[in-house]
Amino acid sequence: MKYVSTRGRAPVLDFADVLLAGLATDGGLYVPEELPSLPGATDGRRPYVDVAVETMWPFVDGAMAPGPFVAMVADAYAGFDHPDVCPLTEIDRRLWVQELWHGPTLAFKDVALQLVGRLFDAELTRRGERATIVVATSGDTGSAAIEACAGRSTLDIVVLHPAGRVSDVQRRLMTTVDAPNVHNVAVEGTFDDCQDLVKAMFADDAFRRDLRLSAMNSINWARVMAQLVYYRSATEAVGRCAFAVPTGNFGNVLAGWYARRMGVPVDRLLIGSNRNDIVCRWVATGALVSEEVVPTISPAMDVQVSSNVERVLFELLDRDGARVAELLGRARALGTVEAPCDPVFSAARLDDDETRSVIAEVHASTGHLVDPHTAVGIGAARRLRRGGDEPIVCLSTAHPAKFPDAVEAATGIRPPLPDRLADLAERPERFDLLPADLGVVQAHVRGCVGTSARGGASQHLP
């Protein structure tokens, strides 16, 4: 399997090089040269690891041997606290939630990053190299990436999160990890500012080479590859269905879109957004219009520049990288652009009051507590459903205890953290507060990598 950039001017790479590169050198995102077709569904449900290996193997074939890959996949999911890894719960007639938060940091990002961290470590060890992971997070990717990297001798990781715009639990899952190769930065700005800083660091060729930069957020194809699996696993359990997906940076719903193109029986993709509804407006009007980010109770979706839309545009524009680059250039210059959209997408927007209402109603009718992001997905599913018999799986992206204030405000119940995290609020935090200034952040990243390579701790109490 070879991979090409969505902007058409970067080298064609194999999986191992795409894994370590993250972002393409032309600023684009890597996608497979050709999408493989998946075998048809088997009778009965299979173990998640079996589905994962079969789904992902075409993407890594030629870059590693089957035996080590199977072992890595099995090891990645051995620590999840449910035997099904991503279990399904029916909360209403033919409406299921698929719980993606049974991994170590209580969010769907663990499903991909527990594997991606192992893939990085194996490939860097094989090459005798060390890399620096730089991640922008709206809350969940950061802790999942840190969990995947902490203590690995081949990796340094620097995570940028927007100061004051993630929940306390989200922040503490990042900032309480005491490992010399882990470095947290609170950026005075929004998630989009963090994302812009990461992209600018990758665009600086000398900086990128010197620090051997790579990425673990959803600009890295390996993340998307691993997220394909739960779409396939769900359809093997419930049959052909629609999926409702709360989305911010568009990576999660993008995996469902690719799964459908590979033959997974996905009928429709129902996008749930909060007030930061650039994707909803794109689906409704065909225009990508970036506006100011508004803080909400579903902060992982507080995004106005959804990077993974670029991969969809590449496919819809006949894989013409020059057209993609020109369109995105106009979007940056003008703040708005007309862009093609796939009719398989429908979208709905919920504000904070509507989100709280869904949390309260789900608890009252089923006894289940859901986090605000999952509630947005459920609200979108109910609003966009084509009759009561349409089967819909809503992706439940985070444990409710990651957002206890929002859940308690809606239900009167404060969801507890799992026992292994019960003392999280007492653990010391380590992070640095920096302005959204590229020069300042780059200097800090250089200092972090130099310190951890010497074996010292680079984190500081704010």
pLDDT tens-digit readout, 35-57: 999 887 666 679 999 999 999 99
Task: With a cut of 80, say whether residue 418 has pLDDT above it.
Answer: yes
Our CA angle for 165, 309, 317, nearest 5°, is 165
**What pLDDT score does 435 carry?**
98
Q: Where are the domains of the chain?
A: 83-103+222-411
At residue 462, the pLDDT reads 34
Q: Please check whether residue 253 is in contact with residue 231, taking contact to mean a CB–CB distance below 8 angstroms.
A: no
Question: For residue 387, what are the contacts with CB-CB under 8 A and spacing of at least 6?
Answer: none
Q: How many CB atoms lie within 10 A of CB 437?
A: 15
Task: Tell me the two tokens of residue 437.
Answer: 């200034």
47 burial via Cβ count (<10 Å: 0-12, 13-18, 19+): middle
Q: How far is CA 154 from the centre of its chain?
A: 23
Cα–Cα dist 219/249, whole Å: 10
Q: Quick one: CA torsion of 216, 217, 219, 225, rounded to 10 degrees?
A: 80
**Whole-Å CA distances, 453 to 78, 123, 159:** 30, 19, 17
Q: What value does the mean pLDDT take over residues 277-303?
A: 91
**Dihedral sign of CA atoms 194, 255, 245, 324 in order:** positive
Look up the CATH number of domain 83-103+222-411.
3.40.50.1100
Residue 109 annotated as catalytic: yes
Kindly name the residue from 2, 109, 199, 402 that is annotated as catalytic: 109
Mean per-residue pLDDT for 168-184?
95
pLDDT at 460 over 50: no
Q: What's residue 32's pLDDT?
A: 97
Rounded mean pLDDT, 441-455: 78
Q: Do residues 185 and 158 lie in contact, with contact meaning Cβ atoms separated by under 8 Å?
A: yes
**H/E element holding 4?**
strand 2-5
In the structure, what pLDDT confidence band is assigned to residue 454 with cuts at 50, 70 and 90?
Answer: very low
Residue 449's pLDDT is: 87
pLDDT of residue 44: 67
- Residue 456 pLDDT exceeds 60: no
**pLDDT at residue 40 in the model:** 72
| CA dist., res. 207 & res. 62, Å (int) | 30
Counts of helices then strands in the chain (DSSP H, E): 17, 16
Report d(CA 324, CA 319) in Å as an integer.
Answer: 8
Give the pLDDT confidence score for residue 458 in this predicted structure. 37
CA 103 – CA 4 distance, rounded (Å): 31
Dump pLDDT digits (tens) for 311-333: 999 999 999 999 999 999 999 89
Q: Over the chain, what is the mean pLDDT?
A: 93
At 379-414, the pLDDT tens digits run 999 999 998 899 999 999 999 999 999 999 999 999
How many angstroms separate the CA atoms of 227 and 238, rounded? 18
pLDDT digit string (tens) for 114-141? 999 999 999 999 999 999 999 999 888 8
Contacts with 124 (C-beta within 8 Å, 6 or more apart), sequence order:
20, 130, 131, 154, 155
The pLDDT of residue 461 is above 80: no
455 pLDDT tier (thresholds 50, 70, 90): very low
Sign of CA dihedral 434, 435, 440, 442: positive
Residue 43's pLDDT is 63
| pLDDT(253) > 60 | yes
CA distance 202 to 213: 7
CA 73 to chain centre: 18
